[in-house]
Amino acid sequence: MSENKPKQDERLLELRNRIDTIDSEIARLISERANCALEVAEVKKSNGEDALYYRPEREAQVLRRAMERNPGPLTNEEMARLFREIMSACLALEEPIKVAYLGPEGTFTQQAALKHFGHSAVSKPLAAIDEVFREVEAGAVNYGVVPVENSTEGVVNHTLDNFMTSNLKICGEVELRIHQHLMISDITRKESITRIYSHAQSLAQCRKWLDSYYPNVERVAVASNAEAARRVKGEWNAAAIAGDMAAELYGLKILNEKIEDRPDNSTRFLIIGSQAVPPSGDDKTSLMVSMRNAPGALHDLLAPFQHHKIDLTRVETRPAQSGNWTYVFFIDFVGHRERENVAAALKEVGACASDMKVLGSYPRGVL
Ligand SMILES: O=C(O)C(=O)C[C@]1(C(=O)O)C=C[C@@H](O)C=C1
């Protein structure tokens, strides 16, 4: 036994006492904050029937401030995550919000929903992107979370196509680093794997790794990563590629971690709802435009953005549902529609487009 042990024990006790004092101070302050949020709810209620409790622009400001004034040693992301959960609990006191996401449980979309709304939101997994749109439109839930693009595999067409027929707005975005793992169940024989299940996008994201380590194993595309994990549970000769949440949910063992081909593999998700979001100070706008099929149409469409010094972050083209060889452009750019230069550019684009819809202005993803 070290002769310093009694001294170390004393120091440990002292530090733990300090932590206990700090914890009771934190608890008191969190309760004070929660009471404040309850009063905010009263003010909102007195302003009218359809009071909006969830305020994306305010949440983005609170999280950004938590990062800006972070004195360390926690990272900015960790600090913001803690405030994310405090705010989620405060909002649940005001009114528990319901969020639908592309399920089943254990998918990356569920992870995105938790990252954006925190753990106090009531979440509901649905089987298809269309169902998430319908459920929000019907008012059965307040918001929906759907994937829109992956840095390796590109755009999620289903999500863009739904905006052609829906009046829902984009209220937010969330980006998630995607780590894929190879996982097996406790009955799997490692040497006898003949089949690997995953979602087609995940199989594509790990193509090179699979070519190197499992070149002769059958790759089976299923509806989601979570479904892949569920199947492996009962098969002795199969493995799945999925994320942490699926492994945890189905009690699978991770055999190889982070097997995605690109280390910066990430997916962007959209928050859909029926609310127009005021400026937060750092916003993006998404636009859907149809153009007549004429020479120079794309140039006419993009020129106003250059002219008004607006940064484009994405341009996607989809075939229009109305007719052959006409196209719909999905354009994302930096700035809120209420900003002067954005409003001016939108006016000019509207003048040369055959149809234009602003899908939403929303805070740029913070976490
Ligand atoms: O500021 C508000 O409007 C609040 O309702 C408070 C609060 C918060 O806890 O800070 C809670 C929920 C909203 O989405 C935004 C912020």
Question: What rounded mean pLDDT belongs to the chain?
Answer: 94
State the complex-level ipTM.
Answer: 0.99
Which residue is closest in CA terms to ligand 1's atom 6? Answer: 37
d(CA 178, CA 278): 30
Q: How far is the CA of 26 from the centre of ligand 1 (A)?
A: 19
What does 159-213 look like in DSSP terms, one character per residue?
HHHHHHH---EEEEEEEEE---EEEE-TT--GGG--EEEE-HHHHHHTHHHHHHH
Q: Please give the pLDDT value at position 48.
A: 77
CB within 8 A of 60, min separation 6: which ones?
A: 172, 280, 281, 282, 363, 364, 366
| Closest-lying ligand 1 atom to the alpha carbon of residue 55 | 14
Alpha-carbon distance 134 to 144, whole Å? 10
Residues of the chain with pLDDT > 90, as a percent, come to 84
Query: Would you state the pLDDT for residue 325?
Result: 67
**300 Cβ neighbours under 8 A, 6+ residues apart:** 291, 352
**How do residues 71-103 score in pLDDT, each as one tens digit?**
999 999 999 999 999 999 999 999 999 999 999
* Cβ atoms of 55 and 41 closer than 8 Å: no
Of 133 and 3, the one with more pLDDT: 133
What is the pLDDT at residue 296?
Answer: 84
- Measured from the Cα of 41, ligand 1's closest atom is 5
Element (H, E) at 346: helix 340-352
**Distance, CA 322 to ligand 1 centroid (Å)?**
42
Supply the pLDDT for residue 324. 64
What pLDDT does residue 1 have? 58
Q: Which atom of ligand 1 is nearest to the CA of 94?
A: 5
pLDDT band at 280 (very low <50, low <70, confident <90, very high): very high
pLDDT beyond 90 at 50: no
Nearest to 235 by CA among 181, 191, 195, 202: 195
Atom number of ligand 1 nearest to Cα 90: 9
CA–centroid distance, 77 to ligand 1, in Å, is 20
d(CA 126, CA 137): 14
From ligand 1's centre to the CA of 90, what distance in Å?
Answer: 7
Residues with beta carbon inside 6 Å of ligand 1? Answer: 37, 40, 53-55, 58-59, 62, 87, 90-91, 94
pLDDT at 138 over 90: yes
What pTM did the predictor assign?
A: 0.92
| Strand 218-221 to 195-198 pairing | parallel
- Would the pLDDT of 233 be above 80? yes
CB atoms within 10 A of CB 229: 31
The atom of ligand 1 lying closest to the CA of 54 is 14
Please report the atom of ligand 1 found closest to the CA of residue 36.
6
Give the model's pLDDT for residue 322. 74
Query: What's the pLDDT tens digit per position in 302-311?
Result: 999 999 999 9
- Ligand 1, from 40, 84, 95: best to mutate by most atoms within 8 Å of Cβ? 40
pLDDT confidence tier of residue 320, bands split at 50, 70 and 90: confident
pLDDT digits (tens, 9 = 90+) for 183-218: 999 999 999 999 999 999 899 999 999 999 999 999
The pLDDT assigned to 328 comes to 92
* Ligand 1 center to 40 CA (angstroms): 8
32, 35, 59: residue to mutate for ligand 1 pocket, most atoms within 8 A of CB: 59
Rounded mean pLDDT, 165-173: 97
